[in-house]
């Protein structure tokens, strides 16, 4: 898994957009982003152990390809790339293919791009602004883990999501000054 600052140059979202400024694992950890590298061969016991320790009770597999998503492919790719947050952790273990998760660094509001490939396990905390896109290979297959019933409800960035309790909890957890709302 490789992380760096997004270059913000207009163009195909599936291109690397590498600014040349690397981001360390420590920086990701400070943002609450967790990562593991687990070989795909015989991954189940390792994933099961992490799931047990972190309380992930459910899982499914998503195949983000034109074939896997059918007619919904183009609209899903656009939806995934809209800046949003979730009220639950987002947990993905990459089985095949590759793609990019972009996360907002709250201090600077810059995008950090994380390139995920087979064997990468990424956990995004509830409340972090992020987005996802495929890379130029146009295919990814990922195991999704959930703490409760499987759901994927994006809350697009807005004044409403800025005031969302999960967003405020996230900001508090990473040391940001959070103002109370009436």
- pLDDT over 90 at 181, yes or no: no
* Residue 125 CB-density burial (10 A; 0-12 exposed, 13-18 middle, 19+ buried): buried
CATH architecture for residues 2-173: Sandwich (2.60)
Q: How confident is the model at residue 182 (pLDDT cuts 50, 70, 90)?
A: very low
Give the residue among 144, 120, 149, 134 at the shortest CA–CA distance from 80. 134
Q: How far apart are CA 64 and CA 100, in angstroms?
A: 12
Q: What is the pLDDT of residue 152?
A: 75
Q: Is 46 flagged in the annotation as binding? A: no
Mean pLDDT of 125-137: 97
Task: Estimate to the nearest angstrom the gap between the alpha carbon of 164 and the chain centroid.
Answer: 19
Annotated binding residue 17: no
Q: Is 115 annotated as a binding residue?
A: no
Scan for tokens 């409340």, then name that residue.
Answer: 127
Q: Sorting pLDDT into bands at 50, 70 and 90, what band is 27?
A: very high
Residue 151: pLDDT band (50, 70, 90) is confident
157 Cβ partners below 8 Å, 6+ apart? 83, 84, 85, 129
């Amino acid at each position: 898994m490789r992380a760096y600052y997004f270059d913000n140059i207009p163009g195909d979202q599936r291109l690397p957009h590498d600014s040349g400024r690397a981001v360390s694992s420590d920086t990701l950890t400070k943002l609450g982003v967790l990562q593991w590298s687990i070989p795909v061969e015989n991954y189940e016991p390792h994933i099961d152990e992490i799931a047990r320790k972190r309380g992930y009770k459910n899982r499914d597999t998503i195949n983000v390809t034109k074939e896997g998503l059918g007619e919904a492919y183009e609209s899903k790719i656009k939806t995934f790339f809209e800046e949003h947050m979730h009220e639950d952790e987002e947990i993905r273990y990459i089985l095949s293919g590759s793609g990019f998760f972009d996360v907002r660094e709250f201090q600077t509001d810059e995008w950090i791009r994380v390139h995920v490939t087979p064997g990468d396990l990424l956990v995004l905390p509830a409340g972090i602004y992020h987005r996802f896109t495929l890379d130029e290979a146009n295919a990814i297959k990922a195991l999704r883990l959930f703490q409760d019933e499987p759901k994927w409800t994006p809350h697009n960035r807005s004044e409403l999501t800025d005031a969302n309790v999960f967003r405020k909890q996230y900001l508090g957890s990473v040391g940001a000054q959070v103002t109370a709302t009436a």
